[in-house]
Amino acid sequence: MGFFDRLSRLVRANANAAVSSMEDPAKILDQSVADMQADLVKLRQAVALAIASQKRLTSQAEQAAAQSKTWYERAELALKKGEESLAREALTRRKTFQETATSLTAQVQAQDGQVESLKKSLVALEGKIAEAKTKKDMLKARAQAAKAQQQLQSAVGSIGTDSAMAAFERMEEKVEAMEATGQAAAELAGSDLESQFAALESGGGVDDDLEALRAQLKGGPEAVALPASETSEAVKPVQVEEVDAELEDLKRSIDKL
């Protein structure tokens, strides 16, 4: 295979590929229907011209046949009148018109076949155009749906490497981390608050006991009593002198420290 043949084939292949990539199905469908409509107009004009030509030939054939008949009648008349030379001339004219009528009749018959063929072609083209118009909108809708599907698939295929999508995922992870940190801080704060209240609730036990003891001492001997035992048996009241003596011993031991 020669170099120029290969180069020519390559150029044609690239040109066809470029044309195919630029073709819009919707526009091509509209243009195809428009072209068929233009062909239909031309075909109708051709049929009209063929019919007009057929009628003209038919009329000329009829006129030639009528002239042939007229000259034949004149030849008869001249022969009856004894005008043989005149009769011969009339027959000569009659033969000319007769040949013309025969030729025109043959042309009319041939024209009949052409007209019928053109009429069939016209009917067939009208049917194809009607069918094309019916299919055109459907094909355009299918082409638009296919184009939308291609665009969707292309968009979906590019999501994995798209920087915007990656940034979105990073922000999602960051928000989740912030939420986890806030939740942990809230739990720690709640725990510390509970411990503070627990300290408040339990920290004043000794002081409360001391205040209660002082109140009992101020209330007199009857107010000083030991708490009930597990057997719920009553005990004797404590003597104030015994308590005072014990308190004095306690103070002296504190002073020595």
Residue 151 has pLDDT above 90, yes or no: no
Q: What is the pLDDT of residue 26?
A: 73
* pTM score over 0.75: no
101 near 65, Cβ under 8 Å? yes
Which of the given ranges, 27-31, 235-239, 250-254, has the highest pLDDT on average? Answer: 27-31
**Mean of the pLDDT values across residues 173-180?**
82
| Of the candidates 41, 25, 38, 22, the residue with the CA atom closest to the CA atom of residue 136 | 25
Distance CA 79, CA 71 (A): 12
The residue with tokens 């979105």 is 168
Distance CA 183, CA 189 (A): 10
DSSP readout, 199-244? HHHHHTHHHHHHHHHHHHHHT-GGG--PPP-TT----PPPPHHHHH
Work out the mean pLDDT of the chain and round it to a whole number. Answer: 75
Residues 38-59 pLDDT 10s: 888 888 888 888 888 888 989 9
